[in-house]
Amino acid sequence: MIKSFLVGAITGAAVMWFYGEQIRETVDDATSGVRTRAAEQMHNVADTLQSVADTVDQGLTGTPQQRAS
């Protein structure tokens, strides 16, 4: 059992050494659209939360609050 684990670990290390850059590029190409969409969605969520916070501030004080940029 230990022998199989060691053989697998050595084989995995060898594969990453020989093909690691190609594997990274393939994964990056496959997930670039996902990362872009996730970033856009996070930006939209942040905008929505800021709008809600501004609305709450207006409701509590009765006047709009100025944000520092």
pLDDT digits (tens, 9 = 90+) for 13-54: 999 999 999 988 998 888 888 888 999 999 999 999 998 888
* pLDDT at 12 (0 to 100): 92
Confidence of residue 69 (pLDDT cuts 50, 70, 90): low
Q: Is the pLDDT of residue 66 over 70?
A: no
Distance separating alpha carbons of residues 56 and 17, to the nearest angstrom: 55
* pLDDT at 10 (0 to 100): 94
Distance separating alpha carbons of residues 16 and 23, to the nearest angstrom: 8
- Whether the full predicted model's pTM is greater than 0.85, yes or no, is no
Burial of residue 57 (CB within 10 Å: 0-12, 13-18, 19+) is middle
Distance separating alpha carbons of residues 60 and 55, to the nearest angstrom: 9
Distance separating alpha carbons of residues 64 and 69, to the nearest angstrom: 15
